[in-house]
Amino acid sequence: MNSFPLLFFYVSAMGVVTIDQLSKFLILHKLSLGETVPLIPDVLHLTLVHNRGIAFGMLGGYDKLLLVAISLSILVLAIMGHILWKRPSTRFFTLNRTALMLIFAGAVGNWLDRLRYGAVIDFLDFRVWPVFNVADTAISIGVGLYLIHFFKQPST
């Protein structure tokens, strides 16, 4: 059995996690909490915030419960990745594999923040949307790829 595709899943995910964690490391060492630095004034700022909840700060008072739920989600995503990446490669699976890898990597990146800092480190601030990070971007792109795949399925 060829383990290259499964290895590719984890190596790709580790690449996304590394970029996410490196970007957060740099922000944590350059900005103080709440500090904003405009890159493109009124369009893109770097703003350091700590998000103790999930998307848009929801469920912020449930730190331990969120950590357990996210830990279980990562385990499920890893199992799904293992199953999906062992199947023969087809165009159908390529999009799903990429989507799953991005969601898995984003979840791991934010999970590491919760373990280390007790909150997710967010810093990308477009001023019209809640502040987010690279891991959030990976999750959003992964979900978008799943939606594209879902809506492009031929009806039976």
Catalytic residue among 20, 113, 122, 125: 122
Distance from the first to the final alpha carbon of the chain: 33
Closest by Cα among 1, 53, 45, 4 to 27: 45
Bridge partner residues of 122 (DSSP): 49
| Separation CA 125–CA 38 (nearest Å) | 9
Residue that the structure tokens 């373990």 belong to: 115
Show the CA angle centred on residue 14, arms to residues 99 and 97, nearest 5°.
Answer: 20
Residue 63 among the catalytic residues: no
Catalytic residue among 20, 113, 125, 136: 136
Q: What is the strand order of the sheet 36-40 is part of?
A: 36-40, 44-51, 120-125
Residue 122 among the catalytic residues: yes
Q: Give rounded-to-5 percent helix, strand, coil for the chain.
A: 65, 15, 25
Q: Which residues are known to be catalytic? A: 122, 136
